[in-house]
Amino acid sequence: MTEENRHFLSGTVTYAQVPKPMTRPAPAPVDLTDDTLALHKQKILERMNAAGLHLLAIYADREHGTNFGYLTGYEPRFEESVLMLQADGTAKLMLGNESLRMAQYSRISAEVVHTPHFSLPNQPMGNSRTLIELMGDAGVKPGMQVGIVGWKLFTSAVDDNTQLFDVPSFIVEAVKNITGMHGRVLNATGLFIDPDHGARVRMNANEIAHYEFGASQASDRVLRLLDKLEPGLTEMELAHELAVYGQPNNVQTICATGDRFTNAVVAPRDKAVRVGDKFSATLGYRGGLTSRSGYVVNSADELPDEVADYLDAVAIPYYRAAVTWYEKLAIGLTGGTMYEAIESVLPKSRYHWHLNPGHLTAGEEWLSSPFYPQSDIPVQSGMLLQMDIIPSVPGYGGASAEDGVAIADEELRRELAEAYPEVWARILERRAYMEKVLGIALKPEVLPLSNLNGYFRPFLLNKAFALKAGE
């Protein structure tokens, strides 16, 4: 019996003929406004003063620049940079040789301290002043309470989390040397990304519209790849679909058939897709990541014998968890409650997922997460959340239908609809698809940002069939 004339039914999940989503992606980015950037600075200064900090040293490099960019509007293209922000709002940018020209584009008013120590290897140092002297020029003084902002929260119960730093030691040590025994230096990254009260975890309408571009484009390109996927095409040929207008990725692009990462190669290669292969594709831009995985088959009959029950053993239980995640999401829901809900439908002891069942996202793919055992952190209006549950059942390929949503109360929804009607129209179209076609019931505050939220083809060559909620 073929897939075209039978349904797989397990609980409330059905494998059935499902039309693919047709929402078009955002045609162009929405820039952050001056008002939004001013709000960013205000939110950070409020948290600085509440914490009793005189100065923030906000670190950035090519990969870890989003906290810095939250205030400056840009992130380093090479080199390291540090933004020194005083509690009174005064700011100085410590920049290496090739970042100096970027100061003129900063969205925060700031003086520049040329810091050749941040330049690339063997470039001219340009002056004879030490890093400690330059730190002094940038505002670090003896006796100060200084918060260093990297990109990690250290939540270990056995460490002093305020004294663990993910910033290069030469920077941390220079700050400590100046502040001295009467000062204090601590990790202040939580002011930005703490999942409960960090400044960056709640977005306004402008930010949601800004990030919807990346989320919608990533999902659109993954759908193009899925529609193109056929035996004989190579990873590189398929991955050609995973590029958008020169936009920067926030994760490594993945397009892998068969065994992943052989010879430690993570990028797509000249490796041909074969029937029966495991397959995965992942694409992330600022604001959203889309990931899909399954088997390169038309039906279960083409699966290797040892995974012939993949649909019932992995794909359907995973999809049930994904539907649970979408349907449970609500303002006020605690992270611990969500964790327990996923554990109840997809027990970790059997399905071996190891990370948080979802997380916050923004410019980076993973900001932080409120979803962990006993978490009392509530889902809040303005959060961008990614459905990210990764089963790992021994002997089977994976199942993935990862995408992101925004959470918006009635007031924020109204602001978004009035200021960005085209973004709002796409969100409503996505909601209608999830509810009417896929059978996934959403709370009013759940706003899909991806064109593929909830859409999952476990058998990748059968492009007419997908999983859905209900019979």
**For residue 12, what pLDDT is reported?**
84
pLDDT tier at 125, thresholds 50, 70, 90? confident
Cα distance between residue 264 and residue 56, in whole Å: 39
**For residue 126, what pLDDT is reported?**
73
Q: Please tell me the least confidently modeled range out of 4-18, 195-209, 455-469.
A: 4-18
One domain for residues 11 and 122: no
Report the mean per-residue pLDDT for the chain: 94
Beta-bridged to residue 81, according to DSSP, are: 60, 95
Average pLDDT over residues 376-404: 97
Average pLDDT over residues 39-68: 97
Residue 9 in this model has a pLDDT that exceeds 70: no
* CATH code where residue 59 lies: 3.40.350
One domain for residues 328 and 454: yes
**For residue 263, what pLDDT is reported?**
85
Cα distance between residue 177 and residue 193, in whole Å: 27
Residue 397 in this model has a pLDDT that exceeds 90: yes
Mark residue 326 as left, alpha or beta (left: phi above 0; alpha: psi -120 to 50; beta: remaining).
alpha
Residue 146 in this model has a pLDDT that exceeds 60: yes
- Quick check: pTM over 0.85? yes
Residue 327 covered by a domain: yes
Q: Which of 334, 407, 65, 367 is nearest to 200 (CA)?
A: 367
**For residue 157, what pLDDT is reported?**
65
pLDDT tier at 7, thresholds 50, 70, 90? very low
Q: Which of 218, 299, 225, 286 is nearest to 255 (CA)?
A: 225
**For residue 265, what pLDDT is reported?**
87
Average pLDDT over residues 301-317: 97
Query: Which of the listed residues 152, 187, 222 is the one where a domain comes to its end?
Result: 187
**For residue 3, what pLDDT is reported?**
40
Question: 85 by DSSP, 3-state: which?
Answer: strand
**For residue 1, what pLDDT is reported?**
32
Residue 5 in this model has a pLDDT that exceeds 70: no
Residue 67 in this model has a pLDDT that exceeds 90: yes
Overall domain count for the chain:
2
- The gap from C-alpha 358 to its chain's centroid, in whole angstroms, comes to 10
Alpha helices in 288-409 (DSSP H): 310, 316-328, 335-345, 348-351
Containing structural domain, residue 69: 52-187
Q: Return the DSSP state at 434.
A: I
Query: Which of the listed residues 135, 161, 187 is the one where a domain comes to its end?
Result: 187
**For residue 430, what pLDDT is reported?**
98
**For residue 158, what pLDDT is reported?**
67
One domain for residues 399 and 317: yes
Question: 461 by DSSP, 3-state: which?
Answer: coil
Beta-bridged to residue 385, according to DSSP, are: 360, 405
Say how many CA atoms lie within 13 Å of 268 toward its Cβ. Answer: 21
* CATH code where residue 224 lies: 3.90.230.10
One domain for residues 264 and 333: yes
Alpha-carbon dihedral sign for residues 331, 332, 333, 336: positive
Give the tens place of pLDDT for each residue, 249-305: 999 999 999 988 888 888 999 999 999 999 999 999 999 999 999 999 999 999 999
**For residue 304, what pLDDT is reported?**
96
Say how many CA atoms lie within 13 Å of 23 toward its Cβ. Answer: 31
Residue owning tokens 């449970």: 328
